[in-house]
Chain A
Amino acid sequence: MQNLITNYILHLADNSLILGQQNSAWTGHGPILEQDIALSNISLDLIGQARYLYQHAANLLNEADEKKVHTEDSLAYFRTDREYKNLLIVEQDNGDWGKTVLRQFLYSSFQNCQYRKLLDSSDAQLKAIAEKSLKEIAYHLRWSSEWVIRLGDGTEESHARMNLALADLWRFTGEFFIPSSYEDNLSLFFPCYDPQSLKEEWEDYAIKVLDEATLYTAANKKMMEETFMLKGGKEGKHTEKLGYILAEMQYLQRTYPETEW
């Protein structure tokens, strides 16, 4: 029974790891010192969440496996891109500061809704991880919401860049609510699991912030309604970008397995 949830836990872990890895590329390159630190902190939070989730998944996988080969490291460093189950949005390019901040906003607002549902989980460990993570997520959401508003309702240039970022990223938000094959069993673990109500909750908040950021223009609204939503990440079908991210992240462990600091 527990193994039915393992893929879902890997999906959660992969989201956090890939986004943490991506954001960390800004370390040392942020537009201003305090924001460089803020985004690096967010990366650390995300990687921390990923670690807890991978450890949990490794334990569950080892329960069913005599040889007990799975660890957080083997899951992070030795799975191929086809085995990674992260959302497509987290593997998109960092782009400029506005795009990174918008990506964080779209993801954190979803993660907030998603993890609040995990608090109802019958899997005690997952529930504990969610509880701890929600405090971090609350801050990520607050930070990114404010930046979306500051940049959207900012100068002509920042507004233009945010418009471009929204046009780039909106197409990846549909995937949040399209259940993957391993989500069919989730009602066993989460009473009242309902992707549709999650969508309404998320959309209400996202649109409220985009509106305050003066980004919910008639043109953007039309774009958002008509955009074809991409999917596949949850099932291991990724854009080519994930290959580059994993190549860089996994290179050291794959070349020198069992290497340590």
Chain B
Amino acid sequence: MNKEWPLWEVFIRSRQGLDHKHAGSLHAVDAKMALENARDVYTRRQEGISIWVVESKHIHTSLPEESADLFEPAYDKIYRHPGFYDLPDELTHM
């Protein structure tokens, strides 16, 4: 039987940022404790002003072995970027 407390992933938003970045992980019994532990461990040096914690088991990831299949097809499809298209000057509201 696993006696270890659940593992949580911690995301911190810095004062200048808009997004929460992954800062690390920690063990805690529940969400309340996880938030406080994150505050104690990952914001000691003014790293952030907002904390998200998620139990690690709820995070689902793509597999490294699959990254070629998932991501390489997009490399040679530049027509998917808006800048690829030249618009006539008369179009003012695109």
A contact residues vs B (CB 8 Å cutoff): 32-35, 37-38, 41, 142-143, 146, 150
Contacts and interface: CB of A to CB of B under 8 A. Distances in A.
B40 A34 contact: yes
Contact of B41 (A37, A142, A146): A37
B32 A32 contact: no
A146 B28 CA distance: 13
A109 to B, nearest CB: 17
B44 interface: yes
B31 to A, nearest CB: 12
B40 A38 contact: yes
Contacts, number: 26
Contacts of B41: 33-34, 37
B32 A146 contact: yes
B27 A37 contact: no
A37 to B, nearest CB: 5
A34 B24 CA distance: 13
A41 B40 contact: yes
Q: Which A-B residue pairs are the 9 nearest by beta carbons?
A: A34-B37, A38-B40, A37-B40, A34-B26, A37-B41, A41-B40, A34-B41, A34-B40, A143-B36
Contact of B27 (A32, A146, A150): A32
Interface of B: 5, 26-29, 32-33, 36-37, 40-41, 44
Contacts of B33: 146
A32 B32 CA distance: 16
Contacts of B26: 33-34
B64 to A, nearest CB: 28
Nearest to B37: A34
A38 B36 contact: yes
A41 B28 CA distance: 18
B58 to A, nearest CB: 20
Nearest to A42: B40
A1 B21 CA distance: 53
Nearest to B44: A41
26 contacts: A32-B5, A32-B27, A33-B26, A33-B27, A33-B41, A34-B26, A34-B27, A34-B28, A34-B37, A34-B40, A34-B41, A35-B37, A37-B40, A37-B41, A37-B44, A38-B36, A38-B37, A38-B40, A41-B40, A41-B44, A142-B36, A143-B36, A146-B32, A146-B33, A146-B36, A150-B29
Nearest to B28: A34
Contacts of A32: 5, 27
Nearest to B26: A34
Nearest to B32: A146
A137 B61 CA distance: 40
Contacts of B37: 34-35, 38
Contacts of A41: 40, 44
Contacts of A38: 36-37, 40
Contacts of A37: 40-41, 44
